[in-house]
């Protein structure tokens, strides 16, 4: 059961800026097993974003090993990386990145458009199922500007789920949301994790880290902490115990 989804060994990533070489990652190693809920934390400049890009197969390491679901990234071409992203990764972004003036259903269908094996009929039924899973079955025809921030992020999560990826990769996915909505979204992530989805959540908010099962903290391109949280708190609990909104009083 506990198979490694991600295997990272001595990962390095250098950038050349002018004549200087910036070493964003200086040899990072860790494994992520199936069913984990991992948060990657770090201040800006810690290498967090570079880590996210490599995890998301948008960027390739300068040196070191990265196996995603037993596939080595280093040797893949651009097109093969695109295919891998399409099949194995579900992205959730801070700013949702939904197509404007396009219905929620069409937005969710989008990743499947790049998979020629899926018929239009299957595409639609899978998109509907994904929207139902995030609790938006009644909003399929709505365009992003008719949806609240929280609902938009749910559509984005449905889009990430629709191709049944091995890992959900979230980049500050609650960064644009108020705290109540953030907890709602995190509750959704926890629920998905309980159903077996592997989640990697990149954030700088310690609150969120406390809801995950494991936290890796980066600083200056190194892992400085790797903590397993045995009994993560429930986002639902937070929701129920939120201070009363004083605007309404």
Partner 1 sequence: MAMARNKMRTILTMLGIIIGVASVIAMLAIGQGSKKSIQDQISSMGTNMLMIRPNSDAPGGVRLDASSMQNLTIKDLEAIQQQCPNVALVSPLVSGRGQTIYASKNWPTSIQGVGTNFLEIRKMSIKDGIMFSEQDVATAAKVCVLGKTVIENLFADGDSPIGKTIRFKNIPFKVIGTLAEKGENTFGQDQDDIILTPYTTIQKRVLAITYIQNIFASAIDEKSSDIALKEITAALRQSHKLKDSQEDDFSVRTQAELISTFSSITQMLTILLAAIASISLLVGGIGIMNIMFVSVTERTREIGLRMAIGGREIDIMFQFLIEAVMISIAGGIIGVALGITTSYALASILGWPITITSLSIILSFLVCFITGVFFGWYPARKASYLDPIEALRYE
Binding interface with partner 1 (CB under 8 A): 53, 56, 58-59, 78-79, 82-83, 85-87, 91, 93, 97, 99-102, 106, 110-111, 114-115, 159, 163
- Give least dist CB 237 to partner 1, A: 33
- Give least dist CB 58 to partner 1, A: 5
- Give least dist CB 78 to partner 1, A: 6
Question: What 3 state SS string does 12-50 have?
Answer: EEEEEECCEEEEEEEEEEEEEECCCEEEEECCCCCCHHH
- Give least dist CB 17 to partner 1, A: 14
Compare residues 192 and 235 and give the one whose CB is closer to partner 1: 192
Show the tokens assigned to 3: 């198979």
Compare residues 129 and 227 and give the one whose CB is closer to partner 1: 129
Contact 123, 101 (CB under 8 A): no
- Give least dist CB 203 to partner 1, A: 16
- Give least dist CB 41 to partner 1, A: 20
Return the beta strands (E) in the chain as ranges: 4-17, 20-33, 37-41, 63-68, 71-72, 89-92, 167-171, 198-202, 214-219, 222-228
Contact 157, 181 (CB under 8 A): no
Compare residues 49 and 182 and give the one whose CB is closer to partner 1: 49
Strand 214-219, strand 4-17: pairing: unpaired
Compare residues 163 and 190 and give the one whose CB is closer to partner 1: 163
Judged by DSSP in three states, 55 sits in helix
Strand 89-92, strand 198-202: pairing: unpaired
Compare residues 176 and 234 and give the one whose CB is closer to partner 1: 176
Compare residues 44 and 231 and give the one whose CB is closer to partner 1: 44
Sheet-wide strand order for 222-228: 89-92, 167-171, 198-202, 37-41, 214-219, 222-228
């Amino acid at each position: 059961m506990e198979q490694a989804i991600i295997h990272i060994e001595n990962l390095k990533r250098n950038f050349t800026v002018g004549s200087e070489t910036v070493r964003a990652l200086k040899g990072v190693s860790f494994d992520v097993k199936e069913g984990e809920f991992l948060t990657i934390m770090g201040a800006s400049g810690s290498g967090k974003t570079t880590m996210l890009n490599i995890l998301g197969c948008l960027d390739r390491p300068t040196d070191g090993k990265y196996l995603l679901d037993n596939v080595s990234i280093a040797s893949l071409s651009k097109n093969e990386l695109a295919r891998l992203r399409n099949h194995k990764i579900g992205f959730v972004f801070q700013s949702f990145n939904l197509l404007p003036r396009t219905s929620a259903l069409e937005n969710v269908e989008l990743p499947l458009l790049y998979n020629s094996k899926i018929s239009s009929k299957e595409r639609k039924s899978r998109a509907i199922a994904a929207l139902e899973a995030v609790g938006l079955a009644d909003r399929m025809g709505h365009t992003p500007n008719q949806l609240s921030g929280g609902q938009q992020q749910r559509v984005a999560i449905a889009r990430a789920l629709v191709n049944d990826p091995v890992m959900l990769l979230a980049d500050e996915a609650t960064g644009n949301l108020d705290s109540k909505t953030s907890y709602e979204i995190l509750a959704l992530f926890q629920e998905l994790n309980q159903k077996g989805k592997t989640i990697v959540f990149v954030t700088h908010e310690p609150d969120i880290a406390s809801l995950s099962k494991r936290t890796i903290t980066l600083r200056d391109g190194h892992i400085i902490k790797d903590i397993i949280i045995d009994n993560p708190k429930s986002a639902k609990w937070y929701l129920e115990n939120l201070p009363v909104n004083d605007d309404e009083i």
